[in-house]
Amino acid sequence: MQFHGMQLDGFTVSSLLPLSSGGCTWGCNYGRELHCYTLKNELDSCFGSDVHLGCCLIDMYSKSGKVSTGRNVFDRMGSRNVYAWTAMINGYIENGDFEEALVLFQEMQLKDGIEPNKVSLVSVLPACGSYAGLRAGKQIHGYATRKELTCDVALRNALIDMYSKCGSLNSARQVFDGGSFGKDAISWSSMIFGYGLHGKGEEAISLYNQMLLLGNKPDMITVVGVLSACCRSGLVNEGLSLYNTIKNEYGIKPTVEICACVVDMLGRSGQLDQALDFIRTMPVEPGPSVWGALVNASVMHGNIEMQELAHRFLIHLEPKNPSNYVSLSNLHASSKRWDAVAGLRKMMKEKGLKKAPGCSWININGKTHCFYVADKAHPHSTLIYEILDGLILIMKGAGYPIDSEELIPITS
């Protein structure tokens, strides 16, 4: 096209940008070249009238993990409609910054006076579920009800998912059962997953059977949801029966995700040998999720030999994942096999791998406070550790066993 002397316009660039959103290096570089082309040829001056180009740039950078660059594009757009705001909110959610997504959702209404539509509401609700923002989720639900948007299936599915992840199963079920809501496969799967997430296995199975009675066929996502529910509730026989049924009666081919649920289910119940036999005969190649499930079950039941076996496969499958080396190193350290620990440390050093410190967080009055392993960055860290020491003394006084033998962690 350019060889024949034709110049790209904003529409052409917008059509090419999705090809650059795969997350690979060449794709991102190509996208940046297209962005530079728009700047050089002043196509960015059309952001005020052609918001679509700006949205495509935001989407490209976000999917490439460069959400801050996407934010720069967003901030310099002369005119932003609800779709531009939604694209930026999606970018933060895709990159795990749920707090900033919620902040931006509020700014959309306060700064630009733009009312959210169904698309923007569906986009922001996952941030509430992942960020445990039940209050914000309820406010969004209330807004959708006032604007008579809750008849939309996608929005109601997002509400079910949000309430489930926030632990409000009653509210999720009310949305699921409410009105003349036409349920699709995602509706059933979301509610079943909600029950499974909170160990309500019998409720999940009951809903699954209800779905079948109404003539709805299960898909892979639904099966994973109900198997996860059986796993967390200790309903092993029911889960195995369901696994055989989906193969024989519904023709669903077991996927890695489905098989990982079966391994987790067998492992949690202490049937580690059966779990290993299942892995050896499963119809698909076992991936990290399968071996990870066996690791967790082996740790739960103190089977060191099985832990080591599963860790070896994980390291083979994910040679650049530092967590696998750290877990195996801690296993060796617990058995005082210091040569093996040193060998793993050397291997990590040679590969340039560093384990990011563990992090927890708590939200108080809309503010997120993060805490890292051995963190002393907080201005009141001395007081915090004094309180923790006091809690440990209370635990010991109550007879709670404290393991004083420290493992050797590998951190950065």
The predicted structure's pLDDT at residue 409: 41
Instruction: Among 65-74, 97-106, 187-196, 331-340, name the one with the lowest average pLDDT.
Output: 331-340
Distances (CA, A) of 250 to 174, 198, 222, 244: 29, 27, 13, 10
DSSP letter, residue 356 = P
Distances (CA, A) of 368 to 26, 91, 100, 110, 271: 35, 20, 11, 21, 40
Average pLDDT in the 336-352 region?
Answer: 81
- pLDDT at residue 406 above 70? no
Mean of the per-residue pLDDT values for the chain?
83
If we measure between CA atoms, which residue out of 167, 168, 96, 178 comes closest to residue 144? 178
Tell me the C-alpha distance between 145 and 402, whole Å: 50
**Half-sphere exposure in the Cβ direction for 18 (13 Å, CA):** 5
Q: What's the pTM value of the predicted model, to 2 decimals?
A: 0.74
- pLDDT at residue 14 above 70? no
Percent of the chain with pLDDT over 70: 82
Chain segment 135-179, per-residue pLDDT in tens: 889 999 999 999 888 888 999 999 999 999 998 999 999 999 986
The predicted structure's pLDDT at residue 202: 94
Tell me the C-alpha distance between 332 and 83, whole Å: 52
Most confident of 157-171, 240-254, 332-346, 357-371: 157-171
The predicted structure's pLDDT at residue 367: 66
- pLDDT at residue 206 above 50? yes
If we measure between CA atoms, which residue out of 93, 46, 54, 86 comes closest to residue 70? 54
Chain segment 96-145, per-residue pLDDT in tens: 888 899 899 989 988 888 999 999 999 999 888 766 678 889 999 999 99
Structure-model confidence comparison of residues 248 and 85, the more confident one: 85
DSSP letter, residue 308 = H
